[in-house]
Structure 1
């Protein structure tokens, strides 16, 4: 069976993935499949850096803004939807251009990871959730590290749901979820991917992040968060734990000044970018293109890829 060609634009936050993906989609006759774990939610446009209305009009985008902020959604759910979306795009004679910075989403699709069905242990899940509330997520990460060090090092403390899922997977199957993911990588993927990342100097990237946060504030991030709070969404939700949302919620709750909240968003965004870079550097399939002229360099790679 011939493999499905898939162009994948990856990279850290504020690296210019959206603009490059649009250029590539228009050049190659493609449609964009978002791979961003925050852009999947409705009403969360500014803080998640969704493509603007103008950008959305320049190319067809999929898997953006289709979930309520309190909907349950897993990486397995995303992977299933992405496979169906890519299949649909390909069936119409177009090429799918996956673009985003959520490494787990991207790897799960590109590597064709299969997610084993296991029974949900609701009692254990509730107990772990209570432990996280009482002792903090770092305590759960330490617990996870005892039998799955790789997952514990990879998961962010804010991602309590995935930490709990990794512990639950081990307790239910007796196998670390990282080992399960590694085993599924050995299954040959249905895709032939061309993976592209814009290569930025670290200091320049951090400056771009800082400036983008300032733009988000000016563009109405405070009003966006207030609107979500008025709709009844709370910071206990996974969606509201995203960078930019939890800090502004803390500001509204009187836990910090606006100045401190903005600075914390910048700091958290820079740290997130560092983790993203570390994640993507592990993948030797990725081609790095210059930040000075990313599209021109990408065109050469695409021409060779689509021969």
Structure 2
């Protein structure tokens, strides 16, 4: 018998968090955050992290497990999530991954193997020498020319991950993402992926309002605190929501321009998320334009019929 796994995906601000909690309450579920940023302690407003009250008693996992100065990778997410799915099933509860970081989720749902990627020790040593001589930014720029997706995902300070991505491309002539996805594995789980979507203008309006609410709730003060604690040049603060405010803190943007840039970057990110999930995962989509409670009832019926 395969272990059960429910996944809820979709673009930012579409309502994934609330949907996950409603389904968890209905089906004795436990939520596993599938967001690569909510793992960081003290980064609450900019990541739209679920609050204790919003959880409504539903257990949540993989939130606040890393310091903002630490790096995090898709392989690490996979290694943490797989045992959680097993433990939650053993409790006869339903594991529900909720999030928008597509490659992280897909690495779990289809059990991608990272350690099996080819290596080239001579080339790796050459790259390490280049880091020593020219700095980490030098090899990070190399990655930009061949694998834009990994370049955007991996912070230059995490130079071992940068080197690994370059090494895979050197050995296979495929980007890290291509190499992983071409494994074409069936899922090891009894899997259902629910996708939430919304009419574009309505979604963009929600994103803009969310950003305004973040600012009202203290996003700039949160970023200033992190900056004052020396959290700079780290993977965590390269995320949308922090890098724009850091540009304001460091005087490159006005406050108003930083907020507008944050809204624009969030809208573009939402578009990329939807495209990714639509093209790369087998998702059952639900349009959330309608009455939320009515739509949740429809999703609950779908989950009960297909997974339970």
Q: In the alignment, which residue of structure 2 is the partner of 1:214?
A: 212
Query: 2:18, 2:178 → 1: CA distance?
Result: 36
Q: Any conservation in 2 of the 1:103–1:276 contact (CA below 8 Å)?
A: yes
Q: In the alignment, which residue of structure 1 is the partner of 2:14?
A: 15
Cα separation, partners in 2 of 1:253 and 1:286, compared to 1, 3 Å: same
Q: Any conservation in 1 of the 2:248–2:255 contact (CA below 8 Å)?
A: yes
- What are the within-5 Å matches in structure 2 for residues 130-279 of structure 1? 130=134, 133=137, 137=141, 140-142=143-145, 144=146, 151-152=147-148, 154-155=149-150, 157=152, 159-161=154-156, 165-171=164-170, 173-176=171-174, 177-186=176-185, 188-234=186-232, 236-279=233-276
Q: Does 1:110 align with 2:113?
A: no
Q: Any conservation in 1 of the 2:190–2:307 contact (CA below 8 Å)?
A: no
- What are the within-5 Å matches in structure 2 for residues 19-38 of structure 1? 19-38=18-37
Q: Any conservation in 2 of the 1:112–1:185 contact (CA below 8 Å)?
A: no
Partner secondary structure for residue 108 of structure 1: helix
Query: 2:225, 2:261 → 1: CA distance?
Result: 21
Post-superposition shift, 1:71?
1.4
- After superposition, the CA RMSD in angstroms is 2.4
Deviations along 1:56-108, one digit per CA (max 9) or x if unpaired, are: 34311000111011113211010010001111101111110110000011100
5+ residue gaps in structure 2? Answer: none
Compare 281-290 and 270-279 and name the one that shifted more. Answer: 281-290
Query: 2:179, 2:140 → 1: CA distance?
Result: 26
Post-superposition shift, 1:122?
6.3
Deviations along 1:143-193, one digit per CA (max 9) or x if unpaired, are: x1xxxxxx54x456464456654223223x44523443134333x332121
- What are the within-5 Å matches in structure 2 for residues 13-92 of structure 1? 13-92=12-91
Partner secondary structure for residue 7 of structure 2: strand
Q: Any conservation in 2 of the 1:25–1:32 contact (CA below 8 Å)?
A: yes
Deviations along 1:88-140, one digit per CA (max 9) or x if unpaired, are: 10111111011000001110011111112558836515736957746984x64
Cα separation, partners in 2 of 1:270 and 1:220, compared to 1, 3 Å: same
Post-superposition shift, 1:279?
0.2
Cα separation, partners in 2 of 1:243 and 1:128, compared to 1, 3 Å: farther
Query: 2:112, 2:138 → 1: CA distance?
Result: 34
Q: Any conservation in 2 of the 1:290–1:297 contact (CA below 8 Å)?
A: no
Q: Any conservation in 2 of the 1:132–1:160 contact (CA below 8 Å)?
A: no
Q: Does 1:295 align with 2:292?
A: no
Q: Aligned pairs, how many?
A: 294
Cα separation, partners in 2 of 1:259 and 1:125, compared to 1, 3 Å: farther
Cα separation, partners in 2 of 1:248 and 1:302, compared to 1, 3 Å: same
